[in-house]
Amino acid sequence: MLIVQKFGGSSVADAERIKNVARRVAAAKRAGNSVAVVLSAQGGTTDELIAKALEITPNPSKRELDMLLATGEQQSAALLSMALAAEGVPAASLNAQQAGIMSTSKHGNAHIKRIDTERAETELDRGNVVVVTGFQGVNRCGDITTLGRGGSDTSAVALAAALGADLCEIYTDVDGVYTADPRVVASARKLGVIGADEMLELASLGAKVLHNRSVELAKKYRVNLVVRSSLSDAPGTLVKEETGLESLIVSGVAVDKDIARISLVGLANQPGVAFKLFSLLARARISVDVILQSIGRESTKDITFTVAKDDADETLKIIADNAVTLGYRQVSHDDGVAKLSVVGAGMATNPGVAAEMFEAIYNAGVNINMISTSEIRISVLIDAADADRAQIAVHDRFFPPAG
């Protein structure tokens, strides 16, 4: 079997942990598999390198920042290869250039275009484990790029797709995908399997197990993806394109607190106002989520929507800069909000889910501010202070605690 294993920064943070990873990789290799490993930089390295750059200038060139940051994964890949050799397993580290990871040119947020696997396959054919630097690529000028958040997961899935791997294992500090955040909901259960679409919804809703770019890629190229713990031998959660008839009505409950609510009050009640607003934000690459448009009094209307907390300042600036075009009376914003979502592929054919969710939230004494739905997801906006309580109430409704 050809397996791609991905380990994150905390799994390789020091020499001891690197040796642990080496033992795990060696075990997979000794079991008769071909193994390609994708690594992040050692935990903390990337932040240290960014700090070094900021000592030089507050606005480092993105090309040079990528050149600098890419050294982090090259170091961890070399160190793991040494550890594998010390375990008696021959290994070769490959940086993005050597591994042929061709990307788009956008420094800091490049996308993988294709992977020329010739060198990696040569090493695998020789019986070597290949250790590939995650998070980075090379653009058509030969410049080093980085892939942005969740980049190493994406590298692993893309490599698995390019090599035609039988399995892509994402090792992380949790042992799988849970029905809710186990730190908040004591009765949360680990899922044995989840559909790629549901995983996508959960990922974009704040369940930080996998980055959604990697799930999208796995879905597109039908890569068998497993989320496992690097600290235990527990079986983890398999992400499959189709989970078949056994789809749970609800697969999980997710909470996202990294959002801000912004309201424009007293807009002219005429067509095109919402279009103007959201095209301005789209041009600035700001993603808008839950949107509520209400008919206001006196021939005006209000628009309320959410954005990522990091985008709130820029959003408010764009609104202020375009005050005349947009023609609103007043802007308000609120950081103390949370989005609570339930996700489930079975939901589409089970119309009662929304009602059950709202009832559970009502019984918990929590007020719902806004509602948004998709085929397999229902989200509500609530006060952040109520988020944990509401999450437990909703989870217990769909996954009644045992006993």
Q: Which amino acid is at 325?
A: T
Residue 121 touching a copy of itself (CB under 8 A) = no
Tokens of 353: 């889910």
Amino acid identity for residue 349 in this structure: T
Instruction: State the minimum distance, in angstroms, from the CB of residue 90 to a copy of itself.
Output: 9
Bridge partners (DSSP) of residue 178 are 190
135 Rama sector, left if φ>0, alpha if ψ -120 to 50, beta otherwise: left
* Binding of residue 77 to a copy of itself (CB under 8 A): yes
Stretch that binds a copy of itself, among 136-144, 157-165, 177-185, 364-372 (CB under 8 A): 136-144
Pairing of strands 259-268, 330-334: antiparallel
Stretch that binds a copy of itself, among 139-147, 234-242, 280-288, 360-368 (CB under 8 A): 139-147
174 is an interface residue for a copy of itself by CB under 8 A: no
Q: Does 102 bind a copy of itself (CB under 8 A)?
A: no
**Part of the chain binding a copy of itself (CB under 8 A), chosen from 31-39, 88-96, 269-277, 295-303:** 88-96
d(CA 383, CA 337): 5
339 DSSP β-pair partners: 256, 381
> Residue 80's closest CA among 1, 20, 120?
20
Give yes or no for residue 78 binding a copy of itself (CB under 8 A).
Answer: yes
Q: Which of 2, 13, 82, 331 binds a copy of itself (CB under 8 A)?
A: 82
Cα gap 6→241, rounded to integer Å: 20
**95 lies in the binding site for a copy of itself (CB under 8 A):** yes
The answer to whether 110 touches 50, Cβ cutoff 8 Å, is no
Binding string, residues 15-34; x marks residues near a copy of itself by CB under 8 A: x--xx---------------
Nearer to a copy of itself, 9 or 344 (CB): 9
In angstroms, the CA 186 to CA 188 distance is: 6
Instruction: Answer for the pair 89, 53: CB distance below 8 angstroms, yes or no.
Output: no
End-to-end CA distance of the chain: 42
Cβ closest to a copy of itself, residue 120 vs residue 215: 120
Angstrom distance (rounded) from CA 385 to CA 186: 18
Q: Running DSSP on this structure, what letter comes out for residue 23?
A: H
Query: Contact letters (x/-) for a copy of itself, 34-73, by CB under 8 A?
Result: ---------------x--xx-xxx-xxx-xxx-xx-xx--
Least distance CB 25 / a copy of itself (angstroms):
14
Q: Does 101 bind a copy of itself (CB under 8 A)?
A: no
- With binding defined as CB under 8 A, does residue 81 bind a copy of itself? yes
CA of residue 216 relative to chain centroid, distance = 10
Cβ 172 to a copy of itself shortest distance, Å:
22
Q: How far is the CB of 16 from a copy of itself (least distance, A)?
A: 9
Q: How far is CA 349 from CA 75, 249, 371, in A?
A: 50, 9, 19
- Minimum distance from residue 138 beta carbon to a copy of itself (Å): 9
Q: Which residues bind a copy of itself (CB under 8 A)?
A: 15, 18-19, 49, 52-53, 55-57, 59-61, 63-65, 67-68, 70-71, 74-75, 77-79, 81-83, 85-86, 92-93, 95, 97-98, 119, 142-144
